[in-house]
Structure 1
Amino acid sequence: MAQTTAKSIPLWLDINPELIDQNFEKVIEYLKSSDKTDSFYKITLDILDKRCKQLLETLKTRPVYYGESIEQDQDNLTFETRLLATILLSNSEMDIASKKRIFLPLLNLLGLLVPADLCGDLLMLMVDNIILEDDPRILFNWDDIINFEPQILAHKIINSATFENAKSAELSFEGKGTLSVANDTLGITAMNEDNTKSKRFLLVPSMEILDGKINLFTMKKDKLKITVENNIDAMEKFTKDFVFEQQAVKPSKDRLKKVYNDGDILNAKVVSIANNEIRVRSSDPDYDTIEGRIVISEANILFYSYHDFMQYLHVNDDIEVELESYEKQTFSIKTCFVKYLIEDMLKAREHVGKISVARVMNIATNKRGDKQIDWMTEDGYAVHTPYDERFSRDSFGKVKIVNLGTGPYYGYINAIVIGETNEYFNMAKVKQEMIEGFVFEPSWDEEAKKTMLNEGSIRDLIRMMIRYQKTVVSPTERFRVLCILKIMACLIDSEEYVSYISFIMDYLKQLILFAKGDYNVIEEIEPAHGFEDIDVVKVRCDIVRILKAYGHESDNEVLESIIKESNDEVLTKIAKLTLSCNNIGDIIPAATRNIIKQEITKSLSVETSDETNLDEENGIYLGIEDRHQEFKTSFVYPPDYNMLPNYYLQEKNIFKVLCGFLNTQAGGTLYIGVSDLGYVVGFEADMVYLKLETIDAYMRFIQDEAKKYFEVDELAMFQMKPMYDDKVLSIKVDPYESGIVEMNGVAYIRVNNETLVMSEKMKKQIRAKKLYPKARQ
């Protein structure tokens, strides 16, 4: 370690994981092109792994509303997604549990970067990763990270993630209730684990989402009745009662927390370094959590000062500490750090007998009255030698370690002076490496390694579900998702999550009341404590204030104030529409008022999600056409054709759109039975004209027609699904990865809400971005 020559190494290999950020593109190129036997490859992986662990800790502490705000840090989200993808791709020796602890946050980050319609698939994949035992087979490559396109990576992960052995693990998590895996589903009960197991044959499903992937179980007498399972008020009361039962749950006998005593050695995580103080929190889940500050009673520990520890430890580092006082909540690191230096470092590396460059730290008299020199070696050890007049404070020499002190002298290292030297070393660097070596990687026992059902994975699941619920079309189904979300937040005893989800539920309930015309029972909502200054929360509160003012001319001042002060376009538009309706409501016909109201609900649907329907009684609304979705009223009747049937012309219109979706990077969905304005109208006329009796026959007819225009491998990209009681047929199109698709010799591309003929220049650009850039012959 003595400084004699400098060796050229990669820039990020400075025992500083933050340097990964500054040199990330170079790191990726290095990992992609390097031989894994390269001497720096393993070191790079270790530093990359540490940086990922720091990121995972950061993600845990992000607020629940992160990603919902109007302004997102897209660059930061992109970097974080690429970082997690890089560690998954580069470290083939990672165990399944470690992979999944990275994979779930990766899915969450992708969910913030891709179109909302992919969130359902990402959520289902997340649930499968939690409940299934084996490692998913994930196929993406370095090019996907270098030329990063979130939609492409998401599609690759969704379409390639298969499980070698689709056997569900026998898992459970006990908190305020129990979340357990059974028959490939996640089930939640308001009981502890012991009672859940003993009464499992008496429990019945009461509320489910995701096609039964997540279920609430109760005793039969407490089941939500089928007759009211879609009633908002009934769901809200059921959730309130379920949460009340959760709060009363007592832990199973083997889940009772143990308590630390003074003098105990324990694992702790650094939670803050500020104001000349290091604070840590115990991390063993079997013990009551205790948090406090580290104290060092002496000036230093073997020449390592408190300032050194403040400088070289980092928030989220895991270290071993001794509980000095439970009452005062203070910790000491002296015993643990000395043990680390002497046993873990010195003996393991067999430094006894080694000759090292050392720096004089102090000249003092020992306990026996003999004069001695105290040194710091180039390896970071404090050693003592007999006095030698050739040396003074801060001079360098060479010493040989003779033996280790024992008994009352444990921690002392005895050495002899070898002689003077011109060599030297950077002591700050040595201290940094030694203190960072004191940090350990947390380990889990074998049982914990097998389970993905823990507080962290449940938080990941909740975050993805918050994003997913905004895409749910039916307000009642969306409310059902929120009910289960609130129960899951209560399960992990997160007051922050419970408060925020409760706020979303209150907000959605007021929107539904407005859509149903129950204007007089709309109530203003107040943000929970801690959310008052969040933009998305303030906007939702203002929206409800506007809806409450609808039809009440006396509240026009509220509307005028919002119009004047707000910079939010949706908010201003809703306020102006409401103000107009209030001012002229008495002189316009009811039909005109209803049109204004529909425009308000459409604006609200955009605010909540492009695919959320609020105006259930006046027709299901699916939003607006865009790059990823197209509406067609019929497969048979072309628009502007005097309502005359011509399915040959209309099917060409439809298949052009599908061709355009195939040639994009993210695909899209075409809905048949939906008007250009986004409202469900059905396709009953098609069924009559084609003389078809079932939706299955209708889908087979369309599939047969599609065979006239597309090859077999292109048809495989289409997924047809009936919706809304068979009133709508959705055709979801995945992007075609093997080149450019043509229809009757013409290639189409989706641009914004139009399907256009692809130019030669655009063809070259698309080919360059395709996963397999071989042009279709």
Structure 2
Amino acid sequence: MDFVSPEHLFEELPLTKEEASILDEYICDYDFTVVGKQGPEWIFSFLGVVRAELGGEEMILEDYDLLNDIFIRILEWMLEGSDYLKCFEGVKLNDARMQVERYLDEAIASREAIRLIDAEEEGEYITSKLEKLMVSGYLYKKSLVWITLLTIVRFSPRLHLLPARGLVLLVYNTLNKPNPRVMERFNERVALVREQDDALCFEGHSRDQIQEAVWILGARILLGDPVQEELASLRSMFFRYLYVLQDKEDEVIRKNAFNSLLFNQKNAVFTWEELLKFSIPVLMESITEKTVDAIRNCQGRLYEGHGQLLVETKAITLAAPVSLKFDTLMEIDGVALKLGYSKKKLSFEEGLVGTTQAWRSILADFSDELRKSVIHKKRPPVGAVVNIRVKLVHNFKPTLAFVTIVDLRYDGQGILHVSQVTRARLDSLKDILHPGDIMTATVVESEDDRLQFSIWEELNQVAVEHLRVGDQCNALLLSEKNGFLTWLSESGFLVSTPLAEGVSEERGGYYLLEVTDVPPVGRIKGKILGATKERFDRHEAVANLVYSYIEECKKYKNGDGQGKFNTGKIERSIGVSGKYVKELIRLLQLYLTQEVCLENLNLLYFIRLLAHVLGDYRLKGYYDCLINHLIVKYEFIEGRLETLDLGALEKDFRAYPALEPLWAVIRMLASYGDRSFAGDLERLSHSEDDYVAKVAESILAKEGQGNLTEESRWREDELLELLSLKGKEDTIVGNMKEKQTFKNSLVYPVGARHVDVEAQLDSIMQDMCSFLNGQGGTVYIGMSDKGVPVGIQADLDYLCCNLDKYELFLHQRIKEAFGEEVDRTIQIERKQFGDKVVEALVVPHFDRVVEYHSEN
């Protein structure tokens, strides 16, 4: 076959009406008049056009599928359905055949991608292939696999919903060959993780959901984020989820979350290689090894909502808009939690009733003052930080701009003079400020109906955010005073340097400077490197800095400017978003335990007030439930539950499925002593939630004892101890409680199907040795690893002994392990949990080092 025309080709390969339409649409620019001139070669130029169209970014999936199928049919016809290639000879024939084979392989790989997308199997394919690639570094027909992968990336509508492993592996494997769509879909997934944070909190979560979020957030941290607040929030969320996966027991992880959000800690504590092992223990080990103490040099961060929130280096402060007094509520990791108020002195240490009343007063303070500030705006005092809008620049005195206040608290109009914008001598503010510009400014004069504002400090802060020690800049000498030179940089910010020899004191000299200090407050400092021939326009330099500042104000306040927190002194702070505040709320929740104490109650109320400032009523309701749960336990312990309104509480708790276990505890306590509730108690004693099961079993055991015998009173004490969780170690005040270990049996190892008394005894003796050489502790035999009583009846049956002989046996083995002197210090206490008996080996600190030599 010497020649095939386009007409003959499509007679051989008839097209449907839809295929003909697609082909005509995408190859309409192909010039068929040159077919005769090109001879047999025309078909390759035609294929090149089709292939180029298939690579076009604008093509939709349906069109791609049709055009690719046509492409494959033509290639298969050339290779297997005709003798067309025989019109070429020698090397040219071989080259033509190889080109057709390559095109066909690529097209088939793309078709496989479409099949996977249609079958919704793309996630499994991506994950499987990339996991194999990580193991061997190679794949069979790797280039074709990548065509399939990248076609999936191009067209899949579910790419952002891929399994976390697959998506993270995809991001990692495209780091060196950036693919915009991969990063777009990945960022969508990060945003989805953020959106699901409330659902995980309110609706409950599975371990798998939290793990997936950890992998996604871990990759986001390694990629970095140009927005400092966003990176701090995501990094905090990563460690917070990791802390949950570790059953809220690892202090290093919790501190990483705290330091990431509050102090912008950015040190790398794990690598891509460690993240890609998809192993929580591997991540934990790396984080523990690489964590360093945080440098607490963060700038103040302000959020204004239904009240004000200021986060500083040493304090998190909440206040109504006009608060004048501030009390420290408590301290967490060296950061004070402060409250502002304008009424009577408040006390948070007067028991449950007094504390609750104090908090109700604070909430009323917030609401009342916020309403007043909106309705009755007042003239701002000197030092107040307000939002202003530029009205116009004076025509005859262009160094003056007329501005008006646009602020929830204050009202008034005034001027902004060029001297309060920059220390550089400028003739005009035109082309620097424009009508409608909104920004935050500080009031520097407020007398006789005359208001004057300054943005000098605010502009300086914009520079601080983008400067690093060691940066160099060209600068114009402005003035000399007291042995220091003041310079205007080409970026508009000011730099102060010591007076140096060889530097002319005359204004107007240009020099190259190196930044030596960028303090969060105060002047930027530098040193002189030498004279420079570079020149710049001072007007343009200042204008660029002002433009940057106005854009920052737009970003933070969506056109309303930034706000600042007024604590009686001028504070330099940046605005933060509601996302930051919500992450702060979640972060502080990590410091809560279920222990009944005023510290927990105060922290819960503080968090609830944060939710009020945020204006999130669903979040406020959630913390109302947590507060009520703690109050109910407190009232139960005090013997005052008669007036509990279960109906109202149930309605509140049912709105948050994740709080179902807490509602179950409230229901059990409210029904304490009610025999008709015994069936529900029995059911709850088998709950998957360990805490619910413990409370139910404890109540059943108490009620099974009958009247108040000595054993019954002891059992009631156990219930009270359980409700207050006095043995929990991660308390806010840091008072470490007794160490405990739980052994399910003396005979049967956990998970084993066979008896191994010696192995169990060896484990018990090792724990006892640790307690003897440490601060002491208790080993419980007959408790699950979660602390749920399972009893020792199986041990008694196997050993064919009673409780007395069981305890004698334990004493004998302790003597053999440590000697008689140690044995005399150890008490074995028998504890009854309903029909279950638990033995508690109370081990004190021993005054000498004790050694234990295992025989296993």
Structure 2 length-normalised TM: 0.44
Higher helix content, 1 or 2: 2
What is the TM-score normalised by the length of structure 1? 0.48
